[in-house]
A and B are shown apart, each in its own frame.
Chain A
Amino acid sequence: MQDEKIIELYFERDERAIEETAAKYENYLFKIAMNVLSDREDSRECVNDSYFAAWESIPPARPKGLSGYLGKITRRISIDRYRYKTRDKRRESEYTVSLDELSECIEARENAEVAAEVKELSGAISKFLQRQPKEKRILFIMRYYFFDSLSEAAENCGISENKAKKILFNMRNSLREYLEKEGFLL
């Protein structure tokens, strides 16, 4: 089914929207989740959560590209899940527990600031990537957006793993310089 028709189903509040989304994008979304979590069960749950999130957000949202929209949701949910799980592990240390407790005191103040900063940072990274040659920016996105393994990203771009490694290394350096120049303190 065409993306437009699936989106229409969401707007009509027709539950077939989720069925059609799953039929078309489940593997794609599962791959994104797996790249983050490396756990089939957690990834499956994240994908299901993504369907629910899409159901909750469309409407009012009307995504231009459904795959990109869903991918972004799955990525975010998977990262949140990953952080939640790793935070649980860190709680084993009293030091990290204390740190987390203290961090809650400044969280309220930080959240708004961080969200704004992340938005600005995101815009800067987008600009940086747009200035890069197509091959390089695609490699960067595959590695740091989709979290493809280095070998997988290199293969998808049709280059050797070593070359991909070198390109990414140079891009990270260039990005740091660019962000520092733009006033982002890293």
Chain B
Amino acid sequence: MREEDIIDAIGDIDEELITEAEEVRQEKKKKVIIKGLIAVAAVFLVTVLTFTAVAIIRSDSGTDGLTNSSTGGFNSWSDEDADGKNSGLTNTVSKGDDGERGEKLDLLAVMLEVTGWYEEGSCFMGRVTDTLDSENLSKGMYIEVNFGKSVSIEIKGNGEKIQLDNKPTESMISVGSEITVKYSTLIPPVVTNGVAGNPEPTRGDHFILVADAVVLDRVPDAD
């Protein structure tokens, strides 16, 4: 008898024995597939959880960043009165190094009297006539506000730009919640209509400015 005969003989053994072994092989194969699927599912789950966690962390840090922004922003507008007065905003004055000439105000909500325009109407200086409960402001402060080209305002000391597209009075304009300007019926046309081609504001015009700005000087109120 040759070795080959044993191989042939094994090939001819009872089919039940073959089926039995085959079932074990198939079972093992299924297990491997299931394991693979579980592994893929686990990787997918971990990836989703990781992305979710990262998104949550980023979201949290984004909120913190806004609140703690060094450039200063509005913490809340919620309790402002309809007439624009007694805004109830918690204003803070930081002894910042942002402006060359004065203190940087993280938040400003004041009634301003226009005292002068220069640089072709792109910048004005205003004198605080009403602090609107802004604790750290006082009447007589001079505030410089820079307007950008025609329809935007650039608030010095912050660098952000605010669009002023002929908004109705008493409306609010916000840019990314960092800067908001609110103006009253007394807002000068130049503010509502932009700078170019509009008449310069009249000295003595009043409007409410709620924004970051630079305090140029503290001049005792004549009143």
Contacts and interface: CB of A to CB of B under 8 A. Distances in A.
Interface of A: 64-65, 67-69, 71-72, 75-76, 79, 83, 114, 117-119, 121-122, 124-126, 129-130, 134, 137-138, 141-142, 144-146, 148, 155-157, 184-186
B11 A75 contact: yes
Contacts of A142: 21, 24-25
B5 interface: yes
A142 B11 CA distance: 12
Contact of B21 (A64, A69, A145): A145
Given A118-B5, A141-B13, 10 more contacts: A64-B15, A65-B19, A118-B9, A129-B13, A130-B14, A142-B24, A142-B25, A148-B25, A155-B28, A157-B24
Q: Interface residues of A: mostly helix, strand, loop or mixed?
A: helix
Interface of B: 1, 4-15, 17-22, 24-25, 28
Contact of A122 (B1, B12, B19, B20): B12
B18 A145 contact: yes
Given A122-B12, A142-B25, A185 B18 contact: no
Contact of B24 (A64, A117, A156): A156
B15 A145 contact: no
B203 to A, nearest CB: 91
Q: Interface residues of B: mostly helix, strand, loop or mixed?
A: helix
A79 B15 contact: no
Contact of B15 (A68, A76, A118, A121): A68
B214 to A, nearest CB: 76
B6 A121 contact: yes
Contacts of A122: 8-13
B5 A68 contact: no
B10 A125 contact: yes
A146 B8 contact: no
A145 B20 contact: no
